[in-house]
C-alpha cells in the first residue's frame, strides 16, 4: 500500500477550517458583539485621560493633550490598512483551510507594522513639527503637546503591531479574543493613566506613558497568543513570507485602503471646516450631534467586522451560499439596529443634547438638526456594511474608486446645498455622502461576486 503524498508546502491545508460552512445569527453576533464592546472601551479611555488631566486644573494641559491626540489620530488612521487588509486576506486563507498562508500573512503584516513603527519613531520630530505648524497652538500648549508626543510615539511599533494582531484574529473570526486584547490594551491604559498621571503626579507625561505601556502590553500578549496557537507543521519558510508577488499584493491592498481612509477623513474635515464658517455656536452644535453618528458607528463597525470575516471566508472557500447568507444576516442586523437608533434619537435626541451641554445657545441650535443627525445611522448602515464586504473580499480598488466618486458627489452637494440652506444643507450633504458610498459599492457587488465565484 502506497501512502498518499503530503500536501504541497505551497498550500498545506486543514479542511476543518476550510470549505463549506453555515452562517447563522449566532455566528454573526459572535464576531460583531465582542468587537462592538471592544470599540466602546476607546471612548471610555478618552474620557479617563481627559478627566485625569482636567483634575490638574490647567487649561493648557487639556489643550495640549487634545492637540496631541489629534496628531496621533491622523498618524494611526494612515496605518489602519494594516488591520483591514490583514483581516480580508486571513479570512480568505481561513476559508481555504490554508493554515500555512494564514501564518505567512500574519508574519508579513507584523513585519510591515514593526518596520513602519520604527520609521515613525525615527521621523517623529518631522511629524511633530509639521503637525504643530498646521494646528498652530500657542507656545504653552505646543510645549505640552511635545511632551505627550515624545513619550507616546515610542510605542508606535507596538501600536501598529496591534493592528496586525487584531486583523489576524478577526480574519479567523475570533471576536472574543479581539475583545480580550482591546480590553487589555485600554484597561491597562486606564489604570496607568490614573496611577501615573494623577496619583504619582506625572501629568501629561504619565498619560502618554500609560498609553505607550498599554500598547506594548497588548502587542506582547497578542503576538504571544497568536504564535502559541500556530501549528509548527504548517510553518511557512522565510522565502514564502517575503515572496515578491504576495508582498506586492499586500502593498496594493494597503495602498487602496489607505487612500479610502484618507478620503473618509477628508470628508469629516470638510464637515468641520464648513461648520466653522457658520460660527462657533453652529460648530459646537455639530460637534455634539456627531456623537449620535459615532455611537451608531460602534455597532455598525462591529457588524462590518463580521461581514469582513464571513464574506472573506466564503470567497476563500468558494462557497457562494455562505457569502449570500452572510450578506443577508449582517444587512438585517445593520439596518434593524440603525432604524432603532434613528427612531430613538428622533424621540429623545433633545434630551441627549441637554445631557451633553448646558449652553442654551448651543442646545437650541442643535435641536434644529437632530433629525439629520438621527438619519445618519440609516444612511450610513449600507456604507459600513459594504466596506466590510469589500474589505473581506479584498476588492480594494472598487472600494477606493467608489469612495473617491462619493466624495466628489459630496463636494458637489455641499457646494450647492450649504449656500442655499446653511447648516441644514451641510447635514443633508453628509447624509447624501454616506448613502452614495453604500449605493455605489452595492451597484458593484453583483459583478464582483459573480467573478469571484465563477467556476
Beta strands in 188-323 (DSSP E): none
Name the one residue in this structure whose C-alpha cell is 489576524.
168
Q: What pLDDT is attached to residue 10?
A: 41
Break the chain into its structural domains and give their ranges.
23-242, 255-454
CA distance 29 to 36: 10
Q: Which of 193, 181, 189 is nearest to 219 (CA)?
A: 181
Contacts of 220 (CB under 8 A, 6+ apart): 158
Q: What pLDDT is attached to residue 111?
A: 92
Q: What pLDDT is attached to residue 17?
A: 56
Q: What pLDDT is attached to residue 47?
A: 64
Question: Does residue 174 come out as left (phi exceeding 0), alpha (psi in the -120 to 50 range) or beta?
Answer: beta
Name the one residue in this structure whose C-alpha cell is 501615573.
196
Q: What pLDDT is attached to residue 15?
A: 45
| Residue-wise pLDDT tens digits, 312-343 | 999 999 999 999 999 999 999 999 999 999 99
Please calculate the CA angle 315-402-330 and round it to the nearest 5 degrees.
45
Strand, helix or coil for residue 318: coil
Contacts of 95 (CB under 8 A, 6+ apart): 18, 19, 312, 313, 314, 315, 316, 317, 318, 319
Q: What pLDDT is attached to residue 7?
A: 41
CB atoms closer than 10 angstroms to residue 122: 10
Q: Give one DSSP letter per residue of 332-353, joined into a string.
A: HHHHHHHHHHHHHHHHHHHHHH
Tell me the whole-structure pTM to 2 decimals. Answer: 0.84
Question: Does residue 12 come out as left (phi exceeding 0), alpha (psi in the -120 to 50 range) or beta?
Answer: beta
| Residue-wise pLDDT tens digits, 28-70 | 999 988 888 877 776 666 667 777 777 676 777 777 777 788 7
Strand, helix or coil for residue 303: helix
Q: Give one DSSP letter per residue of 367-431, joined into a string.
A: HTTHHHHHHHHHHHHHHHHHHHHHHHTT-HHHHHHHHHHHHHHHHHHHHHHHHHHTHHHHHHHHH
Express the helix, strand and coil content of the chain in percent, nearest 5 each: 85, 0, 15
Residue 180: half-sphere exposure toward Cβ, Cα within 13 Å = 11
Name the one residue in this structure whose C-alpha cell is 463580521.
306
Q: What pLDDT is attached to residue 9?
A: 40
Phi, psi of 23 (to 5 degrees): -100, 125
Which portions of the chain are predicted below pLDDT 70?
1-18, 42-47, 55, 57, 455
CA distance 419 to 415: 7
Amino acid at each position: 500500500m502506497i501512502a498518499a503524498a503530503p500536501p504541497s508546502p505551497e498550500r498545506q491545508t486543514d479542511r476543518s477550517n476550510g470549505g463549506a460552512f453555515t452562517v447563522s445569527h449566532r455566528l454573526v453576533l459572535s464576531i460583531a458583539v465582542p468587537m462592538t464592546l471592544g470599540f466602546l472601551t476607546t471612548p471610555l479611555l478618552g474620557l479617563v485621560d481627559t478627566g485625569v488631566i482636567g483634575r490638574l486644573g490647567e487649561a493648557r494641559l487639556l489643550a495640549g493633550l487634545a492637540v496631541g491626540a489629534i496628531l496621533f489620530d491622523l498618524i494611526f488612521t494612515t496605518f489602519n490598512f494594516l488591520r483591514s487588509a490583514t483581516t480580508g486576506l486571513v479570512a480568505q486563507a481561513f476559508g481555504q483551510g490554508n493554515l500555512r498562508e494564514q501564518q505567512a500573512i500574519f508574519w508579513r503584516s507584523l513585519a510591515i507594522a514593526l518596520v513602519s513603527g520604527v520609521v515613525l519613531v525615527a521621523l517623529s520630530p518631522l511629524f511633530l513639527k509639521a503637525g504643530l505648524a498646521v494646528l498652530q497652538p500657542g507656545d504653552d500648549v505646543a510645549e505640552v503637546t511635545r511632551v505627550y508626543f515624545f513619550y507616546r510615539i515610542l510605542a508606535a511599533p507596538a501600536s501598529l503591531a496591534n493592528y496586525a494582531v487584531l486583523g489576524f484574529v478577526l480574519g479567523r473570526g475570533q471576536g472574543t479574543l479581539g475583545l480580550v486584547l482591546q480590553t487589555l490594551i485600554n484597561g491597562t491604559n486606564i489604570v496607568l493613566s490614573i496611577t501615573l498621571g494623577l496619583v504619582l503626579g506625572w501629568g501629561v507625561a504619565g498619560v502618554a506613558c500609560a498609553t505607550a505601556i498599554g500598547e506594548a502590553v497588548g502587542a506582547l500578549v497578542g503576538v504571544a497568543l497568536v504564535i502559541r496557537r500556530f501549528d509548527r507543521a504548517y510553518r511557512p519558510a522565510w522565502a514564502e513570507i517575503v515572496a515578491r508577488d504576495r508582498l506586492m499584493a499586500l502593498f496594493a491592498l494597503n495602498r487602496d485602503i489607505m487612500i479610502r481612509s484618507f478620503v473618509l477623513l477628508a470628508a469629516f474635515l470638510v464637515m468641520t471646516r464648513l461648520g466653522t464658517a457658520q460660527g462657533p455656536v453652529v460648530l459646537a452644535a455639530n460637534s455634539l450631534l456627531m456623537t449620535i453618528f459615532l455611537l451608531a458607528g460602534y455597532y455598525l463597525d462591529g457588524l462590518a467586522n463580521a461581514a469582513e470575516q464571513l464574506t472573506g471566508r466564503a470567497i476563500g472557500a468558494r462557497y457562494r451560499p455562505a457569502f449570500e447568507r452572510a450578506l443577508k444576516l449582517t444587512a438585517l442586523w445593520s439596518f434593524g439596529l440603525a432604524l432603532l437608533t434613528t427612531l430613538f434619537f428622533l424621540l429623545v435626541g433633545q434630551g441627549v443634547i441637554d445631557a451633553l451641554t448646558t449652553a442654551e445657545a448651543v442646545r437650541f441650535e442643535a435641536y434644529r438638526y437632530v433629525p439629520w443627525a438621527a438619519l445618519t445611522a440609516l444612511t450610513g448602515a449600507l456604507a459600513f456594511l459594504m466596506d466590510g464586504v469589500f474589505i473581506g473580499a479584498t476588492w480594494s480598488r472598487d472600494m477606493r474608486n467608489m469612495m473617491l466618486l462619493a466624495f466628489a458627489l459630496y463636494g458637489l452637494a455641499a457646494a450647492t446645498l450649504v449656500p442655499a440652506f446653511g447648516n441644514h444643507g451641510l447635514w443633508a450633504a453628509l447624509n447624501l455622502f454616506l448613502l452614495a458610498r453604500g449605493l455605489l459599492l452595492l451597484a458593484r457587488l453583483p459583478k464582483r461576486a459573480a467573478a469571484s465565484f465563477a467556476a
